[in-house]
């Protein structure tokens, strides 16, 4: 079976950060710039301790003295040892640049994350402030601040950090807005992760690389600007910095030209090293992303082409004029269906879903759905493309896309009104008691994390398991869902597994908390035909084994016949007929249901009698 052929083992791979550093070091420019910056950082930390003399000790005898054994790099216009001052200045210049960097990152990243993730009023206010700060002339603000607040290098750099923050805000905002609508973020919400965890885990991981690259560039700019201010004599003269040393050297350029060389070299080489390192990091990180995307696209294309064929087999077109009435036709339970199932686990009444449109209008796409899912039953929700199946499922999960909302009706889970619960309580129920299996397995796995970590995290959050227990449970689940080498898959990234394996992983995730209800939204649409059958078998076995209810969204009556106890037929946002599968197959009443069944019987080979199609289970 090609879909579950084991992929090459990635092995106990080093962490992403270690691999990135290794790749940077392999490139001569990367190794050189990183090496130089490490030396600068060491000097910044230990420089003052290594200084042979007090950097502020002036001596009239040594004014502008040339390099000698006593003063390795000579003495400045006040007779202070240039070497000692250079060591002390490195600490202050680097620390001042870090102040600007930290202020810019804290303001820009936090505001960008909140605005990009939650949008709303904060987005409008933050975007307005960003535009305002960007419109301000930075150097004028710094000069004005110096006049008002005094010559403190730290204050100047903190203000400069605020002026730099829009760069981070825009970067993070754009990345978060893009990632926010990814399916794996929705999947993480379904698995019970809080917004904070989703931001920390799935969203920060996406913006981390651009932030690191941007920081290398911004650090260089901060050093240059700070040195420029000091050079202009706007800094605190009592504090040794590269800029103030440069200013002193420039004043005495004719008498002691070497004085300018040392701080110039320090500033120039540090800024160049930061820029080169940023370039190498960008090349390396982008190369990784391109490789991952290529692999992911290759998998998606392989499964997508077959999915397109199965879609065309499963989907049937119908005329709108077949819609009759709002009240669904209800079939009485037969002994077979009612013997297997208990009371209702999910009760949906008059559910309406609407989307906001421009001009304050809204458009309703689900027009009052009633749906009962009983404990332990497999309930099919079938209908043509666009009939509102997914919107109904998402409304139950509380995962309607932006602009969509439940405009009427109620969703009750075990007697609790989900639509009236706050987000926190909803998340807790959704993570533990209701599982979700999505349509596109690949898009629902975060490409930045291994399969193992994506299974372990929800287990730890929802069930409070220790890391070790969660890992063991995840491995056992992978084995249970038929992954041939669980350990290998556990360590693999999503692009390293097939579409069928990805769907098995998501099924493992959905059942991991032993939920009472699983909502599976066309779980086989994106899979190879042979893998579809295996995945359906797996779902049926797990459902039998664990006795959970399953709401199976599909447009394929074959799947309904094979798996479901009861079915609700949906057309144009309404349920038009509902009842036990056997009864509907034998006595479909609604013209739409009849045409759905007719299309299958017309197009496909004759099905064996009901009941003999099942390879397992007790139905």
Ligand X SMILES: Nc1ncnc2c1ncn2[C@@H]1O[C@H](COP(=O)(O)OP(=O)(O)OP(=O)(O)O)[C@@H](O)[C@H]1O
Run of H or E residues at 109: helix 82-118
Compute, in degrees rounded to 10, the torsion defined by CA atoms 147, 151, 157, 158: -70
In the complex, least distance from residue 523 CB atom to ligand X, rounded to whole angstroms:
12
Helix (H, G, I), strand (E, B) or coil at 432: helix
**Nearer CB in complex with ligand X: 340/389:** 389
**Nearer CB in complex with ligand X: 240/409:** 409
**Nearer CB in complex with ligand X: 79/386:** 386
**Nearer CB in complex with ligand X: 163/369:** 369
Run of H or E residues at 367: strand 362-374
**Nearer CB in complex with ligand X: 214/556:** 556
**Nearer CB in complex with ligand X: 30/383:** 383
Task: Tell me the sheet residues that pair with 439.
Answer: none
Instruction: Give every strand in the sheet of 378-383, ordered side by side.
Output: 329-330, 574-580, 566-571, 378-383, 549-554, 517-521, 434-437
**Nearer CB in complex with ligand X: 245/600:** 600
In the complex, least distance from residue 182 CB atom to ligand X, rounded to whole angstroms:
15
In the complex, least distance from residue 306 CB atom to ligand X, rounded to whole angstroms:
17
For ligand X, the nearest residue by Cβ is 390
**Nearer CB in complex with ligand X: 100/576:** 576
Phi, psi of 399 (to 5 degrees): -120, 30
In the complex, least distance from residue 387 CB atom to ligand X, rounded to whole angstroms:
4
In the complex, least distance from residue 571 CB atom to ligand X, rounded to whole angstroms:
9
Helix (H, G, I), strand (E, B) or coil at 445: coil
> Token digits for 137?
């002339």
In the complex, least distance from residue 590 CB atom to ligand X, rounded to whole angstroms:
17
> Token digits for 192?
């019970």
**Nearer CB in complex with ligand X: 133/365:** 365
In the complex, least distance from residue 568 CB atom to ligand X, rounded to whole angstroms:
12
Give the residue from 82, 101, 95 showing the smallest Cα distance to 265.
82
In the complex, least distance from residue 407 CB atom to ligand X, rounded to whole angstroms:
13
**Nearer CB in complex with ligand X: 385/416:** 385
**Cβ 305 vs Cβ 529: under 8 Å:** no
Phi, psi of 413 (to 5 degrees): -115, 115
Q: How far is CA 253 from CA 72, 77, 83, 159, 600, in A?
A: 19, 11, 18, 32, 91
In the complex, least distance from residue 388 CB atom to ligand X, rounded to whole angstroms:
4
**Nearer CB in complex with ligand X: 262/592:** 592
DSSP string across 276-326: HHHHHHHHHHHHHHHHHHHHHHHHHHHHHHHHHHHHHHH-----GGG---S
**Nearer CB in complex with ligand X: 440/516:** 440
In the complex, least distance from residue 503 CB atom to ligand X, rounded to whole angstroms:
16
**Nearer CB in complex with ligand X: 389/432:** 389
In the complex, least distance from residue 554 CB atom to ligand X, rounded to whole angstroms:
8
In the complex, least distance from residue 555 CB atom to ligand X, rounded to whole angstroms:
5
Q: Which residues contact 167 (CB under 8 A, 6 or more apart)?
A: 104, 108, 214, 218
List b or e across 441-471, with b for residues whose CB sees 16 or more CB atoms inside 10 angstroms: bbbbbbbbbbbbbbbbbbbbbbbebeeeebb
DSSP string across 529-540: HHHHHHHHHHHH
**Cβ 582 vs Cβ 610: under 8 Å:** yes
- According to DSSP, residue 433 is labeled T
Which positions lie near ligand X, rule CB under 6 A? 355, 365, 383, 385-391, 401, 403-404, 555
Give the residue from 610, 594, 3 showing the smallest Cα distance to 306.
3
Q: Report how far residue 171's alpha carbon sits from residue 237's, in angstroms, rounded to the nearest whole number.
A: 36
Run of H or E residues at 469: helix 467-480
Instruction: Determine how β-strand 404-413 pairs with β-strand 434-437.
Output: unpaired
In the complex, least distance from residue 381 CB atom to ligand X, rounded to whole angstroms:
9
> Token digits for 260?
């300018």
Q: How far is CA 14 from CA 20, 21, 50, 292, 471, in A?
A: 10, 11, 36, 17, 18
**Nearer CB in complex with ligand X: 385/613:** 385
In the complex, least distance from residue 510 CB atom to ligand X, rounded to whole angstroms:
18
């Amino acid at each position: 079976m090609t879909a579950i052929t084991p992929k090459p083992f990635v092995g106990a791979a080093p962490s992403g950060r270690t691999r990135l550093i290794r790749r940077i070091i392999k490139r001569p420019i990367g190794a050189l710039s990183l090496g130089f910056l490490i030396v600068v950082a060491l000097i910044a930390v230990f420089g003052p301790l290594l200084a042979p003399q007090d950097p502020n000790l002036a001596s009239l005898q040594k004014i502008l003295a040339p390099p000698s054994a006593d003063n390795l790099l000579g003495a400045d216009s006040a007779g202070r040892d240039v070497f000692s001052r250079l060591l002390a200045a490195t600490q202050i210049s680097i620390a001042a640049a870090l102040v600007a960097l930290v202020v810019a990152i804290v303001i820009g990243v936090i505001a960008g994350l909140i605005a990009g993730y939650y949008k709303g009023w904060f987005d409008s206010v933050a975007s307005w402030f960003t535009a305002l700060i960007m419109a301000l002339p930075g150097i004028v603000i710094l000069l004005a601040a110096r006049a008002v607040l005094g010559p403190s290098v730290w204050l100047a750099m903190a203000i400069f950090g605020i002026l730099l923050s829009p760069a981070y805000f825009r970067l993070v905002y754009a990345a978060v807005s893009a990632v926010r609508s990814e399916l794996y973020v929705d999947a993480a919400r379904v698995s019970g992760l809080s917004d904070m965890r989703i931001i920390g885990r799935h969203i920060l991981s996406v913006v981390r690389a651009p932030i690191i690259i941007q920081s290398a560039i911004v650090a260089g700019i901060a050093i240059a600007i700070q040195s420029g201010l000091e050079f202009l004599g706007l800094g605190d003269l009592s504090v040794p910095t590269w800029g103030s040393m440069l200013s002193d050297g420039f004043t005495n350029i004719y008498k002691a030209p070497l004085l300018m060389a040392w701080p110039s070299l320090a500033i120039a080489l540090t800024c160049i090293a930061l820029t080169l390192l940023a370039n190498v990091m960008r090349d390396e990180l982008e190369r990784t992303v391109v490789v991952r995307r290529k692999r992911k696209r290759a998998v998606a294309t392989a499964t997508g082409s077959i999915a397109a064929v199965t879609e065309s087999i499963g989907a049937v077109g119908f005329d709108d004029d077949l819609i009759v009435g709002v009240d669904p036709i209800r079939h009485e339970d037969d002994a077979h269906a009612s013997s297997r199932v208990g009371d209702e686990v999910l009760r949906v009444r008059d559910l309406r879903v609407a989307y906001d449109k421009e001009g304050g209008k809204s458009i309703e796409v689900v027009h009052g759905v009633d749906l009962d899912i009983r404990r332990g039953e497999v309930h099919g929700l079938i209908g043509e493309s666009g009939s509102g199946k997914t919107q109904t499922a998402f409304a139950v999960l509380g995962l309607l896309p932006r602009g969509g909302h439940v405009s009427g009706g109620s969703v009750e889970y075990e007697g609790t009104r989900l639509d009236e619960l706050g987000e926190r309580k909803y998340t807790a129920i959704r993570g533990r008691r209701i599982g979700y299996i999505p349509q596109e397995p690949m898009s629902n796995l975060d490409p930045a994390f291994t399969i193992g970590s994506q299974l372990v995290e929800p287990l730890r959050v929802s069930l409070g398991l220790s890391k070790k227990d969660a890992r063991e449970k995840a491995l056992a689940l992978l084995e249970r869902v038929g992954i041939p080498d669980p350990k290998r898959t556990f360590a693999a990234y999503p692009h390293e597994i097939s579409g069928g394996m990805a769907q098995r992983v998501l099924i493992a995730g959905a059942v991991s908390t032993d939920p009472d209800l699983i909502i599976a939204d066309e779980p086989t649409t994106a899979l190879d035909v042979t893998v579809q059958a295996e995945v359906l078998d797996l779902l049926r076995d797990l459902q039998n084994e664990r006795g959970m209810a399953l709401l199976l969204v599909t447009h394929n009556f074959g799947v309904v016949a094979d798996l479901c106890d009861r079915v609700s037929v949906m057309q144009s946002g309404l349920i038009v007929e509902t009842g036990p599968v056997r009864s509907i197959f034998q006595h479909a009443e609604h013209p739409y249901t009849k045409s759905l069944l007719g299309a299958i019987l017309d197009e496909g080979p004759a099905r064996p009698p009901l009941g003999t199609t099942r390879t397992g289970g007790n139905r």
